[in-house]
Amino acid sequence: MTTPRPLPGRDESYWMESTDAPEHPPLTEDVEVDVAVVGGGVAGLSTAWELARAGRSVAVLEADRVAAGVTGYTTAKVSALHSLVYGKLRRTRGAEAARLYATSQQDAVERLAAIVEEQAIPCDLERVSAFSYATDPASRDAIETEAHAAAEAGLAASYVTRTDLPFPIAGAVRLDGQAQFHPRKYLLALTADLVARGGRVYERSRVTGLTEGSPCRLTTEAQRSVTARDVVVATHYPVFDRAMLFARLSPRRELVVAAPIDADRAPKGMYITQDEGKRSVRSAPLDDGRRLLIVTGEEFTPGTGDPREAFSRLDSWMHERFPVGPTAYRWAAQDNDPSDTVPLVGPFHPGARHTYVATGFGGWGMTGGVLAGRLLTSLITGSEAPPPWADLYDPRRLASTLRQAPALLGQQAEVAKHFVADRLRVTHVDSVADIPPGAGAVVRVKGRRCAVHRDEDGTVRAVSARCTHLGCLVAFNEAETAWECPCHGSRFGVDGSVLQGPAVRPLEEMDVADDEEG
């Protein structure tokens, strides 16, 4: 193995680097509330805020820091135009489903904008146009079909052949009146208002157990509990599987690079294409009058591929097509794609009476999280009828799941491949001694697979290579210095600590001293 070469830019999300957040205490005593929300991202915080606004006592339990997980690493587009979703929905779910999807997503755009105005939140909200475009002429028909399907679904969408991108396109769907913003500034303000309304927020309080009943009970790794009439699981990828959700979600990571650009040369809208390995583009205002161009793409399953090469490709694409300065930031975001395209928001499973879930936003968590807050609040409080699109998002939907059987089988075949084949793979590292500084590898030591990382100073850290979720073998992501599970997307630090679920337990520490000496 060779020592990893450096990548351009600061290894941090701009949203994270540009905001300071007040700390909230961990859960140190047993508490009782009306509703407990597991997860402090956009879905969890939106739900908790809506519930507190409706007069419910609420507790949010976050494993790390609020608005610092997936939400802190998003692209932060707030749009009802989701690449080519409407053509697919019309084919697989029918025209009415596409209409309900469009109505609910645009409603979420307007709801977020209304909250920003009502709460006077300084989160750089800008109303802009969204574009789904193609550069390959062979993709033009799909773009025209999408424009027609989106318009038929009720959106004011149109087909265009020109944009303000600095390169030619084959065609695009345009939707005006969408938005982009600073997600952390928004959610931190929402959290402050939640607390002011009597809501409780507990950070560094990882939930490890859920007992359903009347009431429900959550337990944390610190052996503290929250008793609540209702529980919402909004952990991005559910940490509990009560409705075959693991079989209906596919995790993927996307890389992000960002660089300053003169304001008058920055694209005015938000753009996404499935061409060229997928590319998503937007910009955000900087304090010096310039803007930050944010480019996303190069998606891959966690624990697979070569993220360093992917970062280089994405960075090269940005510099070749836009007059940007040196790369300032790089980061990665993780999303979960549902097997039938539509997020899963509603009762956790067919027998659920007081447990709910919000997941599977497929890369569009800003509108999805706001939508989840409104939908779950209506279901929990019963103060008003659920919105007409509630059934579309219901996790218990069976007919849609059966229609998507090929996708389900494909996802599970991929999981099975990793579960079996990764155990048969012969590693290219024979011993711990072969691992250079800054690198990591799975090594067999005394008959056990160990995930071993060597720090730049030579310090070796070894943990079990078996993911604590369902036992798949992890792989090392050099670009982000993390162990990743390719089966369901759990991520771990080099010390074995859980960075991202669904795993809730750390990787076991291992002793590889003898192999290191050898």
Q: What are phi and psi of 441, to 5 degrees?
A: -160, 155
Q: pLDDT grade, residue 514 (50/70/90)?
A: low
Domain tally, the chain = 1
Cα 481 to Cα 497: distance, rounded to the nearest angstrom: 12
Cα 431 to Cα 373: distance, rounded to the nearest angstrom: 50
Asked if residues 338 and 330 have their Cβ atoms less than 8 Å apart, the reply is: no
Residue 315, domain member (yes or no)? no
Burial class (CB in 10 A: 0-12, 13-18, 19+), 151: middle
Burial class (CB in 10 A: 0-12, 13-18, 19+), 382: exposed
Asked if residues 501 and 235 have their Cβ atoms less than 8 Å apart, the reply is: yes
Half-sphere exposure of 483 (CA within 13 A, CB side): 30
Distance of CA 269 to the CA centre of its chain: 22
pLDDT in tens, 242-268: 667 778 899 999 999 999 999 999 999
Burial annotation 464-481 (CB, 10 A radius, 16+ → b, else e): bbbbbbbebbbbbbbbbb
Task: Please name which of 476, 504, 249, 247 lies closest in space to residue 358, comparing C-alpha atoms.
Answer: 249
Residue 106, domain member (yes or no)? no
Placement of tokens 């300053």 in the chain = 260
| pLDDT at position 324 | 98
Q: What percent of the chain has pLDDT over 90?
A: 70
Residue 391, domain member (yes or no)? no
Residue 497, domain member (yes or no)? yes
Residue 343, domain member (yes or no)? no
Cα 113 to Cα 121: distance, rounded to the nearest angstrom: 10
More confident residue, 416 or 376: 376
Residue 446, domain member (yes or no)? yes
Would you state the structure tokens that stand for residue 181, as one six-digit string? 């913003």
Across the chain, mean pLDDT equals 90
pTM: 0.86
Cα 263 to Cα 291: distance, rounded to the nearest angstrom: 5
Would you state the structure tokens that stand for residue 224, as one six-digit string? 């503290």
Asked if residues 76 and 15 have their Cβ atoms less than 8 Å apart, the reply is: yes
Domain that holds residue 479: 424-517
Q: β-strands 126-134, 58-61: how paired?
A: unpaired
Residue 500, domain member (yes or no)? yes
Half-sphere exposure of 367 (CA within 13 A, CB side): 24
Residue 473, domain member (yes or no)? yes
State the chain's maximal CA–CA distance in angstroms. Answer: 68
CATH of the domain at 474: 2.102.10.10
Task: Please name which of 153, 145, 131, 160 lies closest in space to residue 87, comparing C-alpha atoms.
Answer: 145
pLDDT in tens, 393-445: 999 987 455 555 555 555 444 444 444 444 444 455 668 888 888 888 898 88
